[in-house]
Structure 1
Amino acid sequence: MANTSSKRIASQNEVAIKNMCYGHLLGNIVPLLIRVLFRREAFLLSKKAIALYCVSLALSHFLYRQLKRMGTPRRDSTGNLVSSGDDLNQPGMTDWTFDVLYISWLAQVGSAILGEWFWWIYIVIPTFVFYKSWTIFISPMLFGRSSSLGQEEQKQEGSSKRQEKLKKRSERGDPRVKQEGTWNTQTTRK
């Protein structure tokens, strides 16, 4: 029997997959209809536009299938939940996969409505990857610790309100605080 958390994740995943299905259909069919009905000549004459649309369609379909496969809950023959699937609301790669999927849909619809220059929206993806790589890996390796890490370190060196409070208790000889050696290791009774 599945616990409450698994049931909650499964129901959230089912809603997310249903919404993603609607988005996938609208994001891929609406641009095609706009191009065929209103911009037929421009679309059919441009091999570049057809190629970009096909690549974008393939990318969005691949990401849609991956997310659907990851998040689909499995049930046994009686309908009981066996596995809730991966949590589609988790941060990190799953969240970024959704972002790339949304950008693909935006590029398809935007290029159909506004023109072929709108495919440049895809430049957001490598820019974001470079930004994340720079702040997490490259900058700390080249220049040592980043400024944000330095600020966190300064916070840790300074005393927090709780540490100050425990220090005052230990100075008064409060039995709730133990002192060991030069470092104050504070433990409180429960």
Structure 2
Amino acid sequence: MANASGKRIANQNESTVKILKLGMLLPTVLSLVLRFLFGRSPFPPSKGPLAIYIVTFFPAFFLSNYLIKQGSPRRDPTTGTLISSGEDLSQPGVTEWCFDILYITWACQIGSGAFGEWFWWLYMIIPLYAVFKLWTSVISPLVLGRGFSGPSDSSPEKEPTSSKRQEKLRKRQEKGDPRVRMQSLKK
């Protein structure tokens, strides 16, 4: 089956894009319904909660649109055949961090509607994690003098490791196997 991985990625991306589109609407509606049911704040909400919601909504909106544009598969309008599967939205790294920010934003929106405005403190996980990653990957290696090469090796007398194939050939050679020939280097 030709292009099976592209079709698989396209199918996964289509379902993820549907979730992203639903995710931009559902937490807002749930938050408003929960606020109304539990009487957490007056309707319309006061300036503080409204400001927090707006400040967190815009990054979530831009990240959601970014992920939708990156992951939307393109199809031929006449035949419906797959032209491009889009970027894989399940890849680690920046894409994964975008989803993390979206999920935390949605959880804070729903949680603040159900439990109160103190639930927005959960949003502090995002900058704390950013500081942690910055410290562990950039600042700490520079401050501790290791550079970006990782931990220094304290045993420089370490023998070079060889692959399994090289080990097999070496053992065959030691046994005198005729399949293995010694090649001498000419100087």
- TM bin, normalised by shorter chain, reads 0.7 to 0.9
Equivalent residues, number: 179
Counterpart for residue 115 of structure 1: 116
Counterpart for residue 169 of structure 1: 171
Q: Secondary structure at the match of 1:82?
A: strand
Q: Secondary structure at the match of 1:68?
A: helix
Q: Which runs of 5+ in 1 are unaligned?
A: 181-190
Counterpart for residue 13 of structure 1: 13
Q: Secondary structure at the match of 2:150?
A: helix
Counterpart for residue 50 of structure 2: 50
Deviation digits for residues 134-154 of structure 1 (CA, Å, limit 9, x no counterpart): 1111111111238x9337786
Counterpart for residue 103 of structure 2: 102
1:64-83 alignment to 2 at 5 Å? 64-77=64-77, 78-83=79-84
- Alignment RMSD (CA, Å): 3.3
Conservation of the 8 A alpha-carbon contact between 1:28 and 1:57: no
Instruction: Answer with 25-34 or 122-131: which moved more.
Output: 25-34
Cα drift, residue 120 of structure 1: 0.9
1:75-154 alignment to 2 at 5 Å? 75-77=75-77, 78-145=79-146, 149-150=150-151
AA of the residue aligned to 2:57: L
Q: Secondary structure at the match of 2:92?
A: coil
Q: Which runs of 5+ in 2 are unaligned?
A: none
Cα drift, residue 48 of structure 1: 0.6
AA of the residue aligned to 1:112: G
Conservation of the 8 A alpha-carbon contact between 2:73 and 2:82: yes
Distance 2:75 2:45 in 1: 49
Cα drift, residue 55 of structure 1: 2.1
Distance 2:154 2:25 in 1: 49
AA of the residue aligned to 1:94: T
Aligned residues: percent identity?
43
Q: Secondary structure at the match of 1:106?
A: helix
Distance 2:63 2:51 in 1: 18
